Amino acid sequence: MNTFPVTRAGQLPTTGPQTQWLVQDLWADQAVGILGGEPKCCKSFLALDLAVSVASGAACLRQFPVRRTGKVLLFPAEDSLAIVRERLEGIAAAAQVSLGSLPIDVITAPSLRLDTPGDRQRLTHTVQTHQPILLILDPLIRLHRVDENDASQIAGLLSFLRELQRQFQLAVLLVHHARKDSNSSRPGQALRGSSELHGWGDSNLYLRRRGADLTLSTEHRAAPSQDHIPLQLTQSPSALALSVLSQSAPPAPNPEVSAMDRVLQALAQLSEPASVQQLRKLCGIRTATLCSCLAQLSQQGVVRHDAKGYQLKLPLDDQPVSFSCPIDPGGNGNGKHSAALAR
């Protein structure tokens, strides 16, 4: 009779295998997983930063060492090839490496469908031909036409990618969107679609934005995780790339700032009238929200409007005037907030 192997508990190994890293603390070697976040959280910038690091050996985000280097295969489903090259060149410049010498191959087909047998076969043959150690697919929503909320349908896509990883011993990074306004949820639970996506990953990265603050959290199946690593997108003459902010001091509190507060702060800094377009750039809110706030301020007699634009009326007296305008820190607010101005 055949039986399963059994070992006494006291004879079990005392230490397990150490995690082998592709990029230290960010991505395990030959791991599959999700790089998730809400729209406009720099997910593609982080994916490309990982690509440059693995291909060059330069530390990812100028902080996380690369433990294994090799070829990277990338399929950018949303951005144009020119934008992808521009971003890669900026990241390479920040990493002080030459993009032209890096083994980063970009799939230039107009589409790639993980839910069709033909495209699965083509992707398998492409991986077999180019032998990458990291495959980046960005983003999932553009790679299929199945119901992401149906576990049975999404599991088929993920199973194919797991098979690809095992067959060719490579890491697979899948960029995926989180639900909007998901800051109250745990990062993995905030991913759009079936919970299969969260459970599938060996290494997962999550980007979150709260106001102007961007943070990165890591999650691993077999290694400690890290939360709230502060990041910023920095611009230099030849580079636009993410970097890690110094954590020597705790981050300052980030209370939500209402759209009206932003408009008042911007107007208070002006020495001459400003157009709606200029104020839109200063405030960082939607045009419709800005116009609503300006209309309220005009009705209250706080601002004057002429052909040159909008400007606060001076002098101001000491009577507070209250306004109601949506909280709109990133153009998506839906709350109400009262702002008082001494005038």
Mention every residue, 6+ apart, whose C-beta is less than 8 A from residue 319: 342, 343
Identify whether residues 80 and 104 lie together within a single domain. Answer: yes
Identify whether residues 115 and 191 lie together within a single domain. Answer: yes
Confidence of residue 89 (pLDDT cuts 50, 70, 90): very high
Identify whether residues 208 and 331 lie together within a single domain. Answer: no
Q: Which of 34, 31, 22 is nearest to 205 (CA)?
A: 34
Identify whether residues 221 and 156 lie together within a single domain. Answer: yes
- C-beta separation of 99 from 88 below 8 A: yes
Q: Judge whether residue 285 has pLDDT over 50.
A: yes
Identify whether residues 34 and 89 lie together within a single domain. Answer: yes
Q: Residue 133: which CATH number?
A: 3.40.50.300
- Among 217, 244, 271, the domain-final residue is 244
Domain that holds residue 331: 259-342
**pLDDT per residue as tens digits for the range 91-106:** 999 999 999 999 999 9
Q: Judge whether residue 337 has pLDDT over 60.
A: no
Does the predicted TM-score (pTM) go above 0.95? no
Identify whether residues 240 and 299 lie together within a single domain. Answer: no
Identify whether residues 110 and 72 lie together within a single domain. Answer: yes
Q: Which residue has the higher pLDDT, 263 or 27?
A: 27
Beta carbons within 10 angstroms of residue 230's beta carbon? 14
Q: What angle do CA 202, 164, 159 make, to 5 degrees?
A: 65
Q: Residue 334: which CATH number?
A: 1.10.10.10
**pLDDT per residue as tens digits for the range 239-271:** 899 999 975 444 444 445 688 888 888 888 787
Residue at 11 is within a domain: no
Identify whether residues 236 and 288 lie together within a single domain. Answer: no
Q: Which of 242, 211, 238, 241 is nearest to 229 (CA)?
A: 242
Across 64-91, average pLDDT? 97
**pLDDT at residue number 312:** 86
Identify whether residues 68 and 138 lie together within a single domain. Answer: yes
Residue at 223 is within a domain: yes
* Number of structural domains the chain divides into: 2
Residue at 7 is within a domain: no
Residue at 3 is within a domain: no
Confidence of residue 331 (pLDDT cuts 50, 70, 90): very low
Identify whether residues 112 and 50 lie together within a single domain. Answer: yes
Residue at 114 is within a domain: yes
